[in-house]
């Protein structure tokens, strides 16, 4: 019986080539989208977790003086933020509420569509980007493809949908040229 030999198949080349020339989102748009999503996740946390905690406290499952905060010191707030960013990115195919409002989108460098694992991996990567005084976010300015640490962990880029739509329509990506009359 012949033993099957496993060989390496480069799977990234075609997808990365398909994304060549994609307009990347600005740092300002990415930061605004992040903070919109952070605000939305806190509001959602309050809307879901607080009523559950009040009900559990009244039923005797929690002590009356329980601290229910969204301050990243408790496991449930970290889990909630990872689930919010991960599931919103997955269900929106790269568009969370904030990214949709800012007209930007997360795009996988490997897959045609954002997978659940990629979305969760990217959400967990926000923690890595925040380490060491948020240097992972600053790497946007250092990386040639404007990738932060969480982008590189999940193998993603963030594109500007407004410029992408203009490029597809054949319009110039920058301001209109001024005539020289």
pLDDT value of position 114: 95
Tens of pLDDT, residues 27-78: 999 999 999 999 999 999 889 887 887 788 788 777 666 666 656 667 778 8
For the whole model, what pTM was predicted? 0.78
Give how far Cα 86 sits from Cα of 37, 89, 90, 92, 109, Å: 11, 5, 6, 10, 17
Of the candidates 151, 113, 178, the one whose C-alpha atom is nearest the C-alpha of residue 30 is 151
Of the candidates 111, 110, 106, the one whose C-alpha atom is nearest the C-alpha of residue 91 is 106
Average pLDDT, the chain: 83
Of the candidates 111, 114, 115, 106, the one whose C-alpha atom is nearest the C-alpha of residue 151 is 106
Is the pLDDT assigned to residue 178 strictly greater than 50? no
**CA angle, residues 84, 90, 126, in degrees to nearest 5:** 50
- Overall average pLDDT of the 67-91 stretch: 82
Higher confidence at residue 25 or residue 173?
A: 25
């Amino acid at each position: 019986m012949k033993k099957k030999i496993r060989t390496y198949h480069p799977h990234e080349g075609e997808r990365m080539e398909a994304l060549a020339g994609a307009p990347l989102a600005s740092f300002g748009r990415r930061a605004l989208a992040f903070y919109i999503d952070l605000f939305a996740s806190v509001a959602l946390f309050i809307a879901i977790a607080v009523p559950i905690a009040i009900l559990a406290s009244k039923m005797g499952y929690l002590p009356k003086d329980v601290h229910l905060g969204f301050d990243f010191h408790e496991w449930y707030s970290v889990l909630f933020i990872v689930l919010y960013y991960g599931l919103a990115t997955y269900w929106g195919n790269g568009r969370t509420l904030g990214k949709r409002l800012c007209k930007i989108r997360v795009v996988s460098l490997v897959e045609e569509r954002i997978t659940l694992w990629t979305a969760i991996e990217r959400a967990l990567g926000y923690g890595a980007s925040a380490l060491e005084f948020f240097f992972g976010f600053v790497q946007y300015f250092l990386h040639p493809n404007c990738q932060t640490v969480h982008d590189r962990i999940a193998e993603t880029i963030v594109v500007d949908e407004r410029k992408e739509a203009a490029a597809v329509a054949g319009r110039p990506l920058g301001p209109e040229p001024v005539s020289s009359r």
